[in-house]
Structure 1
Amino acid sequence: MDFSGLSPAEQAQVTKIVEKRQFQGFLSMYGKLVEKCFQTCVNDFTSKSLSSKEDQCVNNCAAKFMAHSERVSARFAEMNADVMSGQKNVSG
């Protein structure tokens, strides 16, 4: 994003909004991860700690979720770069 047309105060405000949305996105993703892995892996409520099977399931679930999220983010960045490259070619 090009914020060069904004004053320093406006740039700071936009940056603050972007950071807040990024943090909200992180919290949302983390919440989905916890919910999905808990629902998938935790079945025995007779103990306050996870069984070794549940623990391994949670670890695998979290690893797959994070790998998927990283791939989606990378693909989104690739698509965004393509769009921005096309805009520069049209305007430049």
Structure 2
Amino acid sequence: MDGLTQSETRELETRLQKRQVKEFMGMFSSLVDGCFVSCVDDFSSKALSGRENGCLSRCVQKYMNATARLSERFQENNALMQQQQQQR
């Protein structure tokens, strides 16, 4: 962020934080929607059934594991690309 004034740096940081929050909320919303649609199908009671609870737990765990693995792969690919650029 060389060449930016203090005010510009603060503005950039604020915008980045807002974008991160928006992306997180989108990811969270996708998780909730996907797991709800996949697991909850009995609306005869306010409470979740044992099957629905188990399904939701597995769904959230799978989503979190997939997100973590995707992040790892992204970091690996990013490091490889940086290494290749440095060798040029």
Shift of 1:88: 4.4
CA apart distance, 1:79: 2.2
Per the alignment, do residues 85 and 8 of structure 1 end up closer, same or farther by CA in structure 2, a change over 3 Å counting?
A: farther
Whole-Å Cα distance in 1 between the matches of residues 87 and 9 of structure 2?
26
TM-score normalised by length of structure 1? 0.83
- Alignment partner for residue 55 of structure 1, among 53, 56, 59? 53
Structure 1 residue runs of 5 or longer lacking an equivalent are none
After the TM superposition, which of the residue ranges 50-59 and 15-24 deviates more from structure 2?
A: 15-24
In the superposition, relative to structure 1, how do residues 19 and 85 fare at CA in structure 2: closer, same or farther (>3 Å)?
farther
Q: TM-score, normalised by structure 2?
A: 0.87
1:29 aligns with 2:27: yes
Q: Which runs of 5+ in 2 are unaligned?
A: none
Matched, 1:69 2:61: no
Measure the CA separation in 2 of the matches of 1:64 and 1:84.
30
Q: In structure 2, do the counterparts of structure 1 residues 76 and 7 end up closer, same or farther at CA, with 3 Å as the change threshold? A: same
What percent identity do the matched residue pairs reach? 38
Aligned-residue offset at 1:86: 3.8
Secondary structure of the equivalent of 1:48? Answer: coil
